[in-house]
Structure 1
């Protein structure tokens, strides 16, 4: 059992206080065709070993129980000494503590590849080694994603927001949602994600300006602009033969406006779009200042045929209470629960319970943050209805959606033929469909975030 031929060789450091376990791990690494640069039985020696190497190792396999420091301190020191290094936890401590250590590694800028039960077994270790080769060596730390000064000190007042609306600076990108149950993974809808193309500052994500927009008291106006843009895009898609359910985020601050529901209903009616195609997503962890006004608004929207989604379920403190109070038709599992769930066994009961709750209440369950086949497989096995995340597609401009959908349909339709051709030793080429042109403009080249 070894890495596949042609895969780059890895350089590994093992840090484990248990000498026998350390020797077994080293032997398994060598059995898998991996070169072990060195090993240590305490944290200090292990860090000195890493520092002495000509280049940072591709992978550090470490225990959390060491005689001179605990695993948390070792991860911190390793992140300073060798930023972005891949790490694997191989420890006898409980899985929840190991999972917390992996979360810490992410926060420190390391690349956690998962947990290997102790004593290490060849299949589990080989899986992490292969994951390391897929991720590629991380010798140089990635560029820090520090927000530019304009994002941290972005000054937004009501006049600027109004000017942005008038001049068409707000744009929407869309992230698809697909079915998890069944065999075709059909497109089920898309979430509208707001962007602001502000002159001189490029395309800004919501975190760069929405808090200031809310502080300026302009959230309702921005919400109506988002709805206007989404309805326009829906109409363009419909003319191209794509009638796609849309999800639009609704700020909790907007739930205090007693007139917003009527404005939303009127806007959709003017666009001649069935309300059943629109779902409004509400962030789960935000507090609702006026419960009576919020309930009146949400009930009104549901009575007129709109969907309501409880967003980021599991990230807040009153999930069940909120789910019981409001007439939601959809439950979106927070990406912090979903991402990497296949490597975190203790998270599975939480996901299973949330999905079962949604099913018993008759609402659709959607998993956000799906980035790996393993996570998608797990959520499918747990009975989740839909998936959304980078594994499905990154957010894209409106004009790219019909072409993406046609590509997906064609690939799905040709899959049986491709399998048959493969068994016969022939190759079948897949052509892209003709570009979709939205009214008044050419199709833009898609570039994901």
Structure 2
């Protein structure tokens, strides 16, 4: 008797077999074909089970042509089994699909462990919803937002999906623990967590509407347990580098032949500017006396910073060698207008390699400058004018035009470094 396509008889049993195109084999662990026992010696039964298995494999091949994500491999299988059961044309086909799915779950337990198998059973048979499987469809609902907002929302929801695999994992206590973890382990402020909750609620609302769940009330600011103390906040705060450490960072960048990063470090060390403030400085903003900060995160940040004597040779070189009108080379591609993003990452790798921890960041150089000014006895209002902080008292903050460029230059001249930073030209 001629066997149908995709059906083979091996020994006393029947197997489903489907060739995998060569272009897709790498995605499927370099297998040449799918093979699965149909768990029967009767051809009639095998022929009824065959379409269910083949349809699932063909769906996988279609998805693999452009959307397969290896990290979602098990979830993909789970969703295919659920789809096979939900779309079975009759009760007999549904029973067969369920039987094959249970066999697959047993193998999953041996391969990935009982917890993974339990999650699979919940999704396949008990209407538990996996979060990751809904991510792509949800992103279609936020395409009207600007690219930066979309990226922020996606990052927040991806983090949520890493912590909650399915809707069965979500309850009042697990949400409280998750929000607490964002503060204590990821070091996010209450303001940042509240913003992230807004993004997460968009996704959870989508899930509730799609599946009839009622999870949205769990994701509120009220469920953010307040555990921070002044001591823990101080411990988590960024801390300044010592002047000698900034010099070592500058020399390390030179040793790596990363001149742009070395130049960025030098500029920060002698101005106290934020990293992106320096990234936005153009040659036209620099004079012999100082540089104008025209783009800052606060109104107080718009200012003129005197040019430290040690920085003048370097600034002359940067102005002369600029190819795009900016003193620091950079790009805003993929970084939502932040030209310094790539340099910031390189600094992060450099300082980590040198043994500095999470509390030392590029912003720590700004704190180094403020520390030197304070230790030199510089007036707090003058320091605020140099680094672009709001004035500490209302009279100067509201009514004063600020320290003169000469006053700021005299104060900033007391900031000093040794080593390669002593003459960073």
Fold equivalence (TM over 0.5): no
Structure with a larger share of its residues in strand = 1
- Structure with higher Rg: it is 2
Relative to the length of structure 1, the TM-score reads 0.21
Structure with a larger share of its residues in helix = 2
Relative to the length of structure 2, the TM-score reads 0.22
